[in-house]
Structure 1
Amino acid sequence: MARADPWSVMKVSFLLSIALGICTVVAAAVLWMVMNAMGVFSTVGGTISEATANGDGGGFDLQGFLSLPRVLLFTSIIAVIDVVLATALATLGAFIYNLSAGLVGGVELTLAEDE
Structure 2
Amino acid sequence: MAWTSPWSVLAASFLVSLGLVVCAGVTLPPVWILLVALGRDPWPPPSWGLVLATVTVVLVTMFTTLCAFFYNLIARCVGGVELTLAEGVPDPTGPAPTAAGPTPGASGGPPPDRTAEGPTTDATAEVPTSAPTTGDPAATDPTAGGPAVGAPSGP
1:95 aligns with 2:69: yes
Q: Tell me how many residue pairs correspond in the alignment.
A: 88
Larger helix percent:
1
- Deviation of the 1:25 alpha carbon: 2.0
1:35 aligns with 2:35: yes
- Deviation of the 1:7 alpha carbon: 0.4
SS of equivalent to 1:3? coil
TM-score, L = length of structure 2? 0.51
1:106 aligns with 2:80: yes
1:5-64 CA distance string (max 9 Å, x none): 00010011111111111112222101112333xx311xx5xxxxxxxxxxxxxxxxx6xx
SS of equivalent to 1:112? coil
Answer 1 or 2: higher relative contact order, Cα 8 Å, separation at least 6.
1
Aligned twin of 2:99: none
SS of equivalent to 2:49? helix
The separation in 2 between residues aligned to 1:77 and 1:100, in whole angstroms, is 35
The separation in 2 between residues aligned to 1:109 and 1:15, in whole angstroms, is 24
The separation in 1 between residues aligned to 2:10 and 2:77, in whole angstroms, is 23
Q: Rg bigger for which structure?
A: 2
Unaligned runs of 5+ in 2: 92-155
1:54-99 CA distance string (max 9 Å, x none): xxxxxxxx6xxx5xxx832212211110000001111101000000
Q: Percent identity?
A: 42
Aligned twin of 1:3: 3
SS of equivalent to 1:24? helix
Unaligned runs of 5+ in 1: 45-61
